[in-house]
Amino acid sequence: MIRSGELGNGSKERVFSQELALAIFDHIWFLAIGSIAAALIAYVTVSQAQPRYRSSALLRIDKPSARSMEQLVTSPPVAHQILSKHAAGGDIPDTQALFLAQNFHLIDPEPGIERPGDRLYRLDLDDSDPRRAQAIATDLIQTWLASTRPVGTARDSLEAELERNKLAAAENTKLLDELQKETTKLLAPNSLSGELATPISALITKRDQNLSAVNRLSDQLKGVTADVIVVPPHLPQVAIPTRARASALLFGIAALPLLLALVLLARYLAPGRSLYQVLLRRSRPMG
């Protein structure tokens, strides 16, 4: 029983192999010409496609900043805001966001490494017009930089805290100046003025904390500055090379199994006839 089944399977495989070989042999010219035609169509289509230009920039930012930039500029509202100025990507936010998702790239030089700190990212923007590619890339960067600056109540809160620390630092500095006038008395360790050394030290510490807070708050209010732009977006002079030959080869190879499947289907529907005979029979008028 088992051997019979195995022989049956082997026989079916041999029959299929023979049928496949006969189909290829009988239609070798159809398969060859069909594959070549598909390759030529792909080659002409890719070659005649509208040229693409790539404007590139270099940014020194960290990984979280790169993620926030990608999320911001590819969101529909921001994409609409930027691309509407340049008549690119369609007329509605969703198609404009799709345009940026396909044509905006932020290349991480160390994609598999999660180390903290800045790294040099390359920003690429592709478009059919070189000047528009440069303009869109510039606007993307400027829009992201502006988004890192706090606005509204968050900015009001930071500004109020900044002013408090500035006033505190100024007051502590004034007190230190007055106390430092007593330095000659502090040289006598047994004098009562020597007790002023402790509050002076505390005031210095407090003033330094205020000044540190002033610097930190000032940086937060500025957001990410244009200093991160190592190389601004350039004006591309040469179009991105098309991959017409590679596309033609892939389409030619992909067409071969589809054409072979068509041949086998025709032989299955009309046993003993070639695809040519089937097509010829169907093309003849009835009667």
Residue with structure tokens 């029979």? 281
The C-alpha atoms of residue 162 and residue 75 are separated, in whole angstroms, by 32
**CATH hierarchy code of domain 53-148+225-231:** 3.30.70
Residue-range domain boundaries for the chain: 2-48+243-283, 53-148+225-231, 153-222
What are residue 190's phi and psi, to 5 degrees? -90, -5
Give how far the C-alpha of residue 7 lies from the chain's centroid of Cα atoms, to the nearest Å. Answer: 56
pLDDT for 104 equals: 93
**Average pLDDT of the residues of the chain:** 75
Can you give 17-70 as a three-state secondary structure string?
A: HHHHHHHHHHCHHHHHHHHHHHHHHHHHHHHCCCCCEEEEEEEEEEHHHHHHHH
pLDDT for 11 equals: 61
Strands 118-127 and 53-62: antiparallel
pLDDT lower than 50: segments of the chain:
1-7, 186-187, 189-190, 192-194, 287
pLDDT for 267 equals: 60
The C-alpha atoms of residue 109 and residue 112 are separated, in whole angstroms, by 9
> Which distant-in-sequence residues (6+ apart) come within 8 Å of 4 by Cβ?
none
Around Cβ 168, how many Cβ atoms within 10 Å?
Answer: 17
pLDDT for 230 equals: 93
